[in-house]
Structures are given as C-alpha cells and as structure tokens.
Amino acid sequence: MQKLVESFIATANAFDVEGALSLFAADAVIDDVSVGDTFVGRDGVRKYLERFFVGYSTKSRLLSLEELDDLHSNVRLDFTGDFGHEVGILKIAINSDGLIERMDADLE
C-alpha cells in the first residue's frame, strides 16, 4: 500500500493524469465529501484529477499512512495549491489486483 500511495502522490503532483489513472480499477469510485460529489469509473476519476489536482495546481505531501488490513488504508495528506492549504484524509480500498477501487476523501 505504501508504494501505491507514493505512486499516486508522485503522479498527481506531476499532473500525470494518465499515470495516476493507471493506479485505479476501471470501475473505481472516488467519493469526495469536501466537494459534495462522487466520481465513478475511469472517466469520473479523470474528471476528478483534472479538476481538483491539475485545475488547482494541487501538490500533496504524505503525513501518515495507517494500513487497516491488506486492502484498506487511511492516508493523511497535506495539500497546497491555488486554493491555499488544507489537510485531508483519503480512505483507500484496493482490489485483489492492487488497484484502487474506492477512495473516500474529506478535509479535516
């Protein structure tokens, strides 16, 4: 999980949407309470990355990673960008192929 999270941060920080998308399952879901929307499938994940990472010049820094079991982790990130500064939590679930199948996001 550590490697997957580090890959997500690196690709998102580089605004490499295709690279970040490769970490998600085809039917992945991102539910972001802080923006009040859910993004479904690769098209939804692409829209989320383009809008909230590329669009706001968001850079992330890992603060902590708590592995709950082999398939679930809670990740705390420091976000900076055109919006200012925020700290957020990503609850990540991966599938048996090691791809992100669900990400629940919220700000502290």
The mean pLDDT of the chain is 97
The predicted structure's pLDDT at residue 26: 97
Mean pLDDT of 20-36: 97
Q: What type of residue sits at position 21?
A: L
Asked if residue 52 lies in contact with residue 35, where contact means CB atoms within 8 angstroms, the answer is yes
Mean pLDDT of 78-102: 96
Residue 36 and residue 68: Cα distance in Å, rounded? 25
The predicted structure's pLDDT at residue 36: 94
Confidence of residue 46 (pLDDT cuts 50, 70, 90): very high
Residue 17 and residue 21: Cα distance in Å, rounded? 6
What's the pTM value of the predicted model, to 2 decimals?
0.94
Q: What is the DSSP letter of 99?
A: -
What is the CB neighbour count within 10 angstroms for residue 72? 14
